[in-house]
Amino acid sequence: MTTLEAPAATQTLTFSKAINQALRDAMAHDDNVLMFGEDVGVLGGVFRVTDGLTKEFGEERCFDTPLAESGIVGFAIGLCYTGFRPVVEMQFDAFAYPAFEQIASHVAKMHNRTNGSVSLPMVIRVPYAGGIGGVEHHCDSSEGYYAHTPGLKVYTPATPEDAYWMLRAAIDDPDPVVFMEPKVAYWNKADVDTSAPGQPVGEAAVRRPGKDVTLITYGPSLAISLKAAAAAAEEGWDVEVIDLRSIVPLDDRTVMESVRHTGRCIVVSEAQEFAGVAGELAARITEQCFHSLAAPVLRVSGLPLPYPAPMLEHTYLPGVDRILDAIERLQWDDEPDLTHHGVQS
């Protein structure tokens, strides 16, 4: 016979359960926190991330809306005027596009437009990116659109502990946060201490220390980067892996410290490379670490194509081989070889 015990502070949680727990704890902590979207109620969301919240908090706190993303985000803006802290779920990355007008024109700009008088403490949860064999319009890497829009914070956790604590932080944040959840990570498990805050948002994490090359990555590409680092170690390269955790704000300090230390850097992301977050990182690193660099900053990314049908996604996604190739191209000898960068010598 067991007696009722307070839940252990450290629990083994999947990434999706960690988000569920964060929502649960935030809703218990503050009555103003509301969770809504498509199928988030009785069904618990298509990924079951909101499982049980309606049962526990009632239909007033976690509810299904009509099927209209623009409506969902616009409605959340209205609730903010009356002091609520809405958390909304966009069912999949590409289905947030109907709401893009609300997000870009209103969510991102409201505080600025109203001279700081209106705050929108809302969280827009977006399951994103591929690697799960989803059909078209279910695998987009849309972080670049949001990161390019001033006024939005863009978080992208990669581990269950970050999923928990970064969502708690996002809900507490007075500014709007686009919370990008890598779908491929939903089933990853780890210990999460829900009693002590994890690493603060805005700081990047060094997931693997190394001295030869820095791999900078985030969200869906962390796992593959760690795999590549392990494979590179067998060939004698000591690779450091940095997980950005949040794209906006961006932690320049950790990134630059690492690059100054290793002198070589590759940015790994699943989004296509052109005009994206990876290019932004490469530019910043070049500006800030020019004299420490032994080679140009390289990008390993998704291909410049619409996300393909599931049977072709393994060709599309950056894999270990493409990362290892990039490491080889980092000019380890004295002869610079720029042919891979579109520059013919």
Partner 1 sequence: MQTTTQDVAVEAFLPSPRPVQLIDPTGAEVTQEGTRRPYAMPTADRLQDVWRHMVLGRRFDLQATALTKQGRLAVYPSSRGQEACQVGVMRSLTTRDWVFPTYRESMALVTRGIDPVEVLTLLRGSAHCGYDPMKHRTAAQCTPLATQLVHAAGTADGLRRRGEDSVALGFIGDGATSEGDFHEALNFAAVFDAPAIFFVQNNKYAISVPLSKQTKAPSLAYKAVGYGMACEQVDGNDPAAVLAVMDAALRHCRGGSGPFLIEAHTYRMDAHTNADDASRYRSGDEVTAWLDRDPIARLEAYLRARGLLNDDQANAVRQEAEALATDLRDRMNVDPQVDPMSLFDNVFSQSTPQVEQARAMVRAELDADQEEGR
Ligand X SMILES: Cc1ncc(C[n+]2csc(CCOP(=O)(O)OP(=O)(O)O)c2C)c(N)n1
Q: Which residues bind ligand X (CB under 6 A)?
A: 38, 67, 69, 91, 95, 98
271 three-state secondary structure: strand
Which of 190, 308, 320, 329 binds partner 1 (CB under 8 A)? It is 308
Q: Which residues contact 52 (CB under 8 A, 6 or more apart)?
A: 20, 24, 44
Minimal distance in Å, beta carbon 95 to partner 1? 6
Name the catalytic one among 106, 137, 138, 148: 138
- The closest of 334, 318, 46 to 181, measured between CA atoms, is 46
Q: Is residue 135 within the footprint of partner 1 (CB under 8 A)?
A: yes
Q: Choose from partner 1, ligand X, none: what does 28 bind? Cβ within 5-8 Å by kind.
A: none
Q: Which residues contact 132 (CB under 8 A, 6 or more apart)?
A: 138, 139, 183, 184
Minimal distance in Å, beta carbon 89 to partner 1? 13
Q: Is residue 320 within the footprint of partner 1 (CB under 8 A)?
A: no
Q: Are 90 and 124 a contacting pair, CB within 8 Å?
A: yes
Q: Choose from partner 1, ligand X, none: what does 89 bind? Cβ within 5-8 Å by kind.
A: none
Q: Is residue 231 within the footprint of partner 1 (CB under 8 A)?
A: no
Q: Say how many residues touch partner 1, by CB under 8 A.
A: 39
Please tell me the distance from the alpha carbon of residue 193 to that of residue 199, in angstroms, as a whole number.
12
Active site residue 106: no
Q: Is residue 342 within the footprint of partner 1 (CB under 8 A)?
A: yes
In our burial notation (b when 16+ CB lie closer than 10 A, e otherwise), range 100-118 reads bebbbebbbbbbeeeeeee
Please tell me the distance from the alpha carbon of residue 331 to that of residue 345, in angstroms, as a whole number.
14
Closer residue to partner 1, CB minimum distance, 151 or 318: 318
Which of 25, 32, 61, 64 binds partner 1 (CB under 8 A)? It is 64
Q: Is the dihedral of CA 311, 312, 317, 323 positive or negative?
A: positive
Half-sphere exposure of 60 (CA within 13 A, CB side): 3
- The closest of 246, 201, 187, 193 to 219, measured between CA atoms, is 246
Which of 52, 58, 78, 133 binds partner 1 (CB under 8 A)? It is 133
Closer residue to ligand X, CB minimum distance, 138 or 264: 138
Which of 28, 283, 305, 338 binds partner 1 (CB under 8 A)? It is 305
Active site residues: 138
Q: Site residues (CB under 8 A) for partner 1?
A: 38-39, 41-44, 46, 64, 66-71, 94-95, 97-98, 133-138, 274, 303-306, 308-312, 315-316, 321-322, 342
